[in-house]
Structure 1
Amino acid sequence: MTVFWLLNFLPPPMARALDLPVQASGSWVMALQQALEEQPVRLILCAYSPAVSETRRREIGGVVYLALPAAGGKEALQAALAAEQPDLLQIFGTENDHAVWALESFAPQKTLLYIQGLAGPCGEHMTDGLPPRFLRRQRMKERLAARTGGATVRQLREGLLEKGEAEKKVFALARNVLGRTEWDKAFTASVNPQARYYKLNEILRAPFYSGGWQRDPLRRPRIFVSQGNTPLKGLHRVIEALPAIAARYPDVQVDVAGWPPPRKGALLQPVMNWLAEYPGYLDQLARRLGVADRIRYTGVLNAEAMKTCFLQSSVFLLPSSLENSPNSLGEAMLLGMPCAAANVGGVPSMMEDKKEGLLFDPARPDQMPQAVLALLDDPAGAEAMGKAARARAMADHDPKAIAAAQMALYNQLCGAKEAKP
């Protein structure tokens, strides 16, 4: 059986073969590809790239990799499908043009649409918890941002909402949809009740399956937040909650994976805060609330460095306004960490409240600090929930079980003449 994967990133082996930069995204896709090596399936991994002017093909380790020219559009994909003659097509991601092209170019009953995030709902929640001024059009700033490859918060929101409309067309064409949570299942049913929905959890990064978090009574209270680069990830709400946490734990520290707001000196700082809109707001908010010295930005972290931050922290905090199945939460659970997470999207499908961690409403300003304080105040209870989370995550993200389930689904679709709801 040959399965054609249409990705929204260039896989690392192909990027290296073409002497192109390796993207940090897509680790779970490559983990699935590795897990399927023991299964009777031949994979073709295909992605569009602006760095190639014609289709490039490589076979590496028994896997075929294709890089399609970005300017080639739908015709480049149709030519690749005609040349490779796969039995099945799996589309990763729902919001890009290639998803529509694929569904229009291959037998729909032999095509599987895999949900990653959902652009439309993310756009709707992009500015949750921010002042209304972030929704105002700022023509000069938007023009400057466009020249530097950036975007204002309003532009980020509008871009996702626009992709969300295209995403609905993708779902309307799909016969078979693969997701992970009750939330993305409900979304699928709302936009295409006729589609058949299948569930399959993700394989996470290898380092997180070994070792585990241990409570250190001498450890300074440390809260780890895995992302803070866009408003959707809710770092502004963490900063707003920090004074209440610091009132009980004066030495508390928040570690944020990513780069800090730009610092350019007293004269240029107002300009930088104006240009770097959201980071500038975070910087001003932290200083106004008197907690700037409690926030440490780690820079971009690889898997091992991320694991070290998890293990050195007291609590993992997921403050996002919306998530489907955040890998960071799964990795924290694999390590057995005490976790506090926003009760949004698909998060409740991953972690049971008060048994495997604590869930809170991010729109309620009092609930986030209460959840974090509950974990810090009751170390034994937090440790017990972390152990339960680890047991759940080890089962949910078992690579062999996921590979076997994926293969069973391939066999089902490959043998089916028509996928019926």
Structure 2
Amino acid sequence: MKVLTTSLVEYPPLLKILGLKEATPFGGWVFAASQALMNVSTDLTLGVVSIAPSISKFEKYEYGRYIFYRIPSKGLQRIEQKEIEAAHEIINDFKPDLIHLNGTEYSLGLEFISANKKNIPIVASIQGLAFVYERYNQGYINSWEFIKHYSFRDFVKIENQFKRNKIMRERGLLEIETLKNIDHVIGRTEWDKVHTMTVNPSLVYHFCNETLRSCFYTASKWSYDACKKYSIFCSNGSLPLKGAHFLLKAVAIVKQQYPSVELRIVGPNVMSSKWKNRIKLTSYQKYLRFLIKALALEDNVVFLGFLNQDNMVSEYQNSHIYVLPSCIENSPNSLCEAQIIGLPCISSICGGTQDFIDDGINGFLYRCEEWEMLANKICWFFSNPIIASEMSQKAILKAKIRHDAICNAKTLLHIYKDILKHG
């Protein structure tokens, strides 16, 4: 079987061939899933297409049963005829039995749909859903706050929040068009099923859980005795829809009872005193800086920069609890990673998150804008270590089943064969 798949990140073997370092900490689970798939299907050849703005025509590299293609692209927001032509050449060169689009919110998927003159079956995996995310892109923050905290970076790069809203809207339109022009989708939450089927009721929906990066399966589990007490780990504080501003307000309440509480956030240090760092801040990051000062949290918040997988493992192992304060998510990998390591988890109820936590059994749920409720859940975990440890064990058990790499690979392979059999 030959499957041609798209990827927004370049797989580690291709980076090695090109002599490049990993450019982003995001998307590693895609390669992990492909490895598991290769392990359960010895006759599978996988073609992987990624984008490269610096090249003029598609490039091809071989690595075992992987065939990597790099497609010239000016960006992911607009369909280009040259990119469609390159996609057509790649299809003719690889001759796939099936095309698998990883993500639906970018132009790359539509370009391969347009280039598919031989009517090869196409299936798309749902990641986020931009046409829904658009509603939450400002994180419930009043537009005036972005204007008040307009930054040098916003001005120089013309990257202000309102442009980001426009980009998300454009991605959403591409996504709707993609969903209307395919017959099959792969999802993993009730939320993504409801929204994709609303756009195109004739879609055939296939369920398949995600496979995590291998290090999260083998890492030592969290334990209360070893963790840093009263520390909170948040895995993304860079975008308004990730809700870090709500978490800061919750931490200010927690501080009244636990003065030494420490919030550890993945992302650039918005409190840096260096002017070179401050001019790089977005309006949202300036808003976070303002909140930290207004809430007197300067000594309680640590920004970690962007972490590789080993650093992420360490944070999950050493923190007291994990909080996902997002305004919208589908199936956040960071929550799943925290669960499989056993770090006690609190998540906002948004998108698909309620499919991952049974409230009060293996974690807690709350409404994202109810930071008082979040503060209450944090304090509960801090004051109930024995029950928190029991909830941790229940989360590990559920996550192990959900993210069983072999089981998920077999499910995906079955989906491929089902599509090829029934069309």
What's the TM-score, normalizing by structure 1? 0.92
Q: Does 1:233 pair with 2:242?
A: yes
Indicate conservation of the 8 Å contact 1:134/1:153, yes or no: no
What is the rounded CA distance, in whole Å, between the counterparts of 1:96 and 1:171 in structure 2? 12
For the pair 1:46 / 2:49, whether they are aligned, the reply is yes
Mark the CA change 1:87 to 1:154 in structure 2 (over 3 Å): closer, same or farther: same
Distance 1:145 1:391, change over 3 A: farther
The alignment status of 1:117 with 2:128, answered yes or no, reads yes
| Structural RMSD (CA) | 2.3
Matches of 1:87 and 1:14, distance apart in 2: 23
**Structure 1 unaligned blocks of 5 or more:** none
Partner of 1:61 in structure 2? 64
1:160 aligns with 2:168: yes
Which has the higher mean CA deviation after the structures are superposed, 377-386 or 108-117?
Answer: 108-117
User: Match for residue 142 of structure 2?
Assistant: 131
Question: Do 1:16 and 1:22's aligned partners in 2 also have CA atoms closer than 8 Å?
Answer: no
Write out per-residue CA displacement over residues 359-392 of structure 1, whole angstroms, 9 at most, x where no aligned residue.
0001223211112112112112211111111000
Aligned residues of 1:109 and 1:413 also touching (Cα < 8 A): no
**CA distance in 2: counterparts of 1:138 and 1:337, whole angstroms:** 35
Check conservation: 1:108, 1:175, Cα contact below 8 A: no
How far did 1:251 drift? 1.0
Q: Which moved more, 1:388-397 or 1:124-133?
A: 124-133
Deviation at 1:405, TM superposition (A): 0.7
Q: Give me the whole-angstrom Cα distance separating, in 1, the residues matched to 2:243 and 2:355.
A: 20
Q: Is the 8 A contact 2:2 2:45 kept in 1?
A: yes
Shift of 1:108: 5.7
The answer to whether the 8 Å contact 1:283/1:292 transfers is no
Q: Matches of 1:143 and 1:294 in 2, distance apart?
A: 28
Letter in 2 for 1:256: I
Amino acid at match of 1:250: P
In 2, the alpha carbon distance for the partners of 1:121 and 1:158 equals 13
Deviations 1:211-236 (A, max 9, x none): 20101288431000011011111111
Distance in 1 (CA, whole Å) between partners of 2:216 and 2:168 is 31
Are positions 1:371 and 2:377 aligned together?
yes
Partners of 1:177 and 1:408 in 2: how far apart?
14
* Residue 296 in structure 1 maps to residue 302 in structure 2: yes
Asked if 1:207 is matched to 2:208, the reply is no
Show structure 1 runs of 4+ deviating over 6 A. 137-143
Percent identity between matched residues is 27
Matched, 1:144 2:150: no
- Supply the distance in 2 between the matched residues of 1:138 and 1:252 (Cα, whole angstroms): 27
| Structure 1 position 308, deviation (Å) | 0.8
* Shift in Å, 1:244: 1.0
Q: 1:237 to 1:130 in 2, by over 3 A?
A: same
Contact 2:139-2:242 at 8 Å conserved across structures: no
Report the Cα offset of residue 342 of structure 1. 0.5
Q: What is the aligned residue count?
A: 411
Cα distance in 2 for residues equivalent to 1:391 and 1:368:
24
Question: 2:101 corresponds to which residue?
Answer: 91
Aligned partners of 1:209 and 1:237: how far apart in 2? 31
Structure 2 partner of 1:78? 88
Q: Deviations over 1:7-65 (max 9, x none)?
A: 22222322332234433222111001111222131111111211222211111122111
Aligned counterparts of 2:232 and 2:150: Cα–Cα separation in 1: 38
CA distance in 2, matches of 1:18, 1:263: 35
Q: Deviations over 1:109-162 (max 9, x none)?
A: 711011111112222101123233146699996873426xxx222221221012
Cα distance in 2 for residues equivalent to 1:286 and 1:166: 37
Amino acid at match of 1:95: E
Please state how far the C-alpha of 1:78 moved relative to its aligned partner.
0.7
The question of 1:404 aligning with 2:410 is answered yes
TM-score by length of 2: 0.91
Does the residue aligned with 1:166 lie in a helix, a strand or coil? helix
1:249 corresponding residue in structure 2: 258
User: Match for 1:395: what amino acid?
Assistant: I
